[in-house]
């Protein structure tokens, strides 16, 4: 099965592409795109992988679903296209970056600038129906993204895994804390941002860890 994904990830995940669950997932996704409005655009489904090759990953930020509003999702977790108003979670992320590192609040919500520095912005589910949050959960994407996280945890050393909220924490529960830095806090959504997301200092902690292990810090 030919999957359009960056070559290093295609090699790392080649066994997944041959499994029955993935074949069923592809059939489901193709039907969805041909019959209704799905986000992100088809050529952006694997944008997180395409933007951050396997051996260049330094930080992993795990989201849940793509944004389900028009023109929002661009294939990177928490990210939106240029010109799109910041969703509340992204606005809160930028506020914490500012408070933590002093970086100015950016004009663009497109997090490609992070991805190109080695931040894998990975949603657990890579597609969603328009205006139907969670509509593609339980179809196989979670198995696929679990496999990607596991490959990173097992084959790489000294990565930073950032897990916001209970969903991401469960997804990353297996990661070996002796080989990687795992940062957890409440989710940046308005419902939980003041319960411990603000003030978590994850961005400065990530950079401190990267620097201590001889890696270039991220310009957040």
Distance, in Å, from the CA atom of 184 to the CA atom of 17, rounded to the nearest integer, reads: 30
Sign of torsion over alpha carbons 182, 79, 188, 92? positive
pLDDT number for residue 140: 98
Residue-wise burial string across 137-170, b where 16 or more C-beta atoms lie within 10 A, e elsewhere: eebbbbebbebbbebbbeeeeebbbbbbbeebbe
**Whether residue 99 lies in the annotated active site:** no
Section 92-121 average pLDDT: 98
Residue 195 is classified by DSSP as: G
**44 backbone dihedrals φ, ψ, rounded to 5°:** -110, 5
pLDDT, tens only, 22-78: 999 999 999 999 999 999 999 999 999 999 999 999 999 999 999 999 999 999 999
Mean pLDDT of 171-182: 98
Contact 72, 39 (CB under 8 A): yes
In what order do the strands lie in the sheet containing 59-63?
Answer: 119-123, 59-63, 160-164, 181-185
Q: Are 23 and 83 in contact (CB under 8 A)?
A: no
> Which of the 8 DSSP states describes residue 132?
B
The mean of the pLDDT values for the chain is: 97
- Look at residue 3 and tell me whether its pLDDT is greater than 80: no
Read off the pTM. 0.96
Catalytic one of 15, 24, 65, 82: 65
Closest by CA to 89, choosing from 164, 186, 189, 187, is: 189
Q: Report the distance separating Cα 220 and Cα 203, nearest Å.
A: 7
């Amino acid at each position: 099965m030919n999957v359009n994904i960056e070559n290093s990830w295609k090699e790392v995940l080649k066994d997944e592409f041959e499994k029955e669950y993935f074949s069923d997932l592809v059939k489901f996704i193709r039907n969805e795109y041909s019959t209704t409005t799905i986000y992100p655009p088809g050529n952006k489904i694997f944008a997180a992988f395409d933007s951050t090759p396997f051996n260049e990953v330094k930080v992993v930020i795990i989201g849940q679903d793509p944004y389900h509003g028009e023109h929002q999702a661009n294939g990177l977790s928490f990210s939106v296209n240029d010109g799109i108003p910041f969703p509340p979670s992204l606005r809160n992320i930028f506020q914490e970056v500012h408070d933590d590192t002093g970086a100015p609040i950016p004009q663009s919500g497109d997090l490609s600038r992070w991805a190109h520095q080695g931040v894998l912005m990975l949603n657990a589910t890579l597609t969603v129906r328009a205006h139907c949050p969670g509509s593609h959960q339980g179809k196989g994407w979670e198995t696929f993204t679990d496999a990607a996280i596991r490959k990173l945890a097992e084959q790489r050393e000294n990565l930073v895994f950032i897990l916001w909220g209970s969903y991401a924490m469960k997804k990353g529960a297996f990661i070996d804390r002796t080989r990687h830095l795992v940062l957890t806090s409440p989710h940046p959504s308005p419902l939980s941002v003041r319960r411990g997301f603000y003030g978590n200092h994850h961005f400065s902690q990530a950079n401190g860890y990267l620097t201590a292990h001889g890696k270039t810090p991220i310009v957040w």
